[in-house]
Structure 1
Amino acid sequence: MNQNFQHMYELCKNHMHSYVLVEMSDGSKVDGIITGLDDEYVYVAVPLGQGDEQHANAFPSDHQQRQFGFGYGYPGYGYPGYGYGYGFGRPRRFRRLILPLAALTALSVLPWY
């Protein structure tokens, strides 16, 4: 096992559940919370920015249905808050990103504020 690979694995392991800035070998940078680690990948929860919330939902039209309170039947009819447009939970605030551990070059711990 490569010494740099082992070093990055230990850094990720020691900073599990911490908010970090990860730099990749291609120069790109990702900030997020390390949520998991295995022999090949590091799993990072990346905060969504403005406008990204709608793209993170499982159903693209779900956002519109919750916003306008559609119920059973056609839009505007039925009981708002019941039926298809209800019960999908809170909007997502993070998306999961899986990064190859071999491509990591640097890891910095960031403050939460």
Structure 2
Amino acid sequence: MEKPDMKKWCHDHMHRYVLVQTHDGWCCDGFVEHIDDEVLCIAVPHCGGMDRAFFPSPFYPYPYFPRRRFYRQVFPLGALLGLSLLPFY
């Protein structure tokens, strides 16, 4: 796919849960967060286990900062092979 076509395709799926695949075979799923002329930014959900805590405990150093639920992954538009819409439950 050409770069302008990929930009339009990504813009059509803004704020949706997608699977991104690059030319080198790397895949990543997340929410389309930002698109411009050069890059695509997606918010990837953090898959931490049951180690979340809502209140500080004596085992954590103070001040307590909660962990992020999403982290940002940036892809150059020229490296993208495809974009697939995924169901989010």
Q: Under a length normalisation based on structure 2, what TM-score does the superposition of the two structures give? A: 0.82
In the alignment, is residue 85 of structure 1 matched against residue 83 of structure 2? no
Look up the match of 2:47.
49
Q: Report the 3-state secondary structure (helix = DSSP H, G, I; strand = E; otherwise coil) of the residue aligned with 2:3.
A: helix
Find the aligned partners of 1:67 and 1:105 in 2 and give their Cα distance.
45
Alignment partner, residue 25 of structure 2: 27
The answer as to whether partners of 1:69 and 1:85 remain within 8 angstroms in 2 is: no
**Greater strand share, structure number:** 2
Match of 2:70 among 91, 94, 102: 94
How far off its partner does 1:69 sit? 6.4
Q: Quick one: which amino acid aligns to residue 93 of structure 1?
A: R
Structure with max Cα Rg: 1
**How far did residue 68 of structure 1 move?**
2.1
* Structure (1 or 2) with the greater helix fraction: 1
In the TM superposition, residue 93 of structure 1 has moved relative to its aligned partner by 1.0
Gaps of 5+ in 1: 55-62, 76-83
Distance 1:103 1:110 in 2: 20
Q: Deviations over 1:64-109 (max 9, x none)?
A: xx34266xxxx8xxxxxxxx424x3x43111011111110010000
The sequence identity of aligned pairs, in percent, is 43
Q: Secondary structure of the residue that 1:6 maps to in structure 2?
A: helix
Are the structure 2 counterparts of residues 102 and 67 from structure 1 closer, same or farther at C-alpha, using a change threshold of 3 Å?
farther
Count of matched residue pairs: 86
> 5+ unaligned residues in a row in structure 2: which ranges?
none
For normalisation by structure 1, the TM-score amounts to: 0.66
SS in structure 1 at match of 2:25: coil
